[in-house]
Amino acid sequence: MKQCPVCVKELPDDAVYCAYCGYDVKTGIAPVRKKSEDRSGRYMGGMVLIVLGVIFLISAYTRYDFSELWPLLLIALGIGTILKK
């Protein structure tokens, strides 16, 4: 048994590449890791826009006034943003 130099896992002697990390044992080329996209910012931004759109629609088509609730809504969105992983 031989050992992968990248992830230090045990490999069979006839292994062509590491099944754990993708290291090419024959050529010695390290695996190319793709950068994972973090979409949480897009998601949260979209949610903020949706909530604001709903608030404007409700205030436009009803007699309910949101002018006194804006600080509370902004605080709630801020807390939601902070607590979201």
Domain ranges across the chain: 1-31, 40-83
Average pLDDT (63-78) is 73
Percent of the chain with pLDDT over 90: 2
pLDDT in tens, 43-65: 777 777 777 777 777 777 877 77
- Dihedral, CA of residue 77, residue 80, residue 82 and residue 85, to nearest 10: -140
pLDDT band at 34 (very low <50, low <70, confident <90, very high): low
Q: Is the predicted pLDDT of residue 24 greater than 70, yes or no?
A: yes
Residue 72 and residue 82: Cα distance in Å, rounded? 15
What one-character DSSP code corresponds to residue 24? B
- Going by pLDDT thresholds of 50, 70 and 90, the confidence category of residue 39 is low
